[in-house]
Amino acid sequence: MEEGKDVFDRPLHPYTRALLNAAQYMSLEVVVPEEFGELPDGFSGCSYYRLCREKTDACKKPQKLQDVSGRLVRCWKSK
């Protein structure tokens, strides 16, 4: 989802931010609420789509790695 320098200090991808936020709760069991639903068969959009709180219809398209100031990020919103 994201590669490059300063990933831990300045995460650009929503999933990276969620992982870093979750790190403080590592001992808790993570349960994905049913409200997040399932992806339709053949879905080719962002692999984080189901859980992302920042998603839009644009996220239903495949996401390419983009260079954002020297960081590689797989999220169109990180431009």
* φ and ψ at residue 73, rounded to 5 degrees: -135, 135
Using rule CB under 6 A, residue 63 touches ligand SF4: yes
| Non-local CB neighbours of 32 within 8 Å, separated by 6+ positions | 50, 51
CA 56 to chain centre: 13
DSSP state of 11: -
Using rule CB under 6 A, residue 19 touches ligand SF4: no
Using rule CB under 6 A, residue 75 touches ligand SF4: yes
Using rule CB under 6 A, residue 48 touches ligand SF4: yes
Using rule CB under 6 A, residue 52 touches ligand SF4: yes
Contact pick of 4, 49, 66, 68 for ligand SF4 (by CB under 6 A) = 49
Binding site for ligand SF4 (CB under 6 A): 13-15, 46, 48-49, 52, 54-55, 59, 63, 75-77
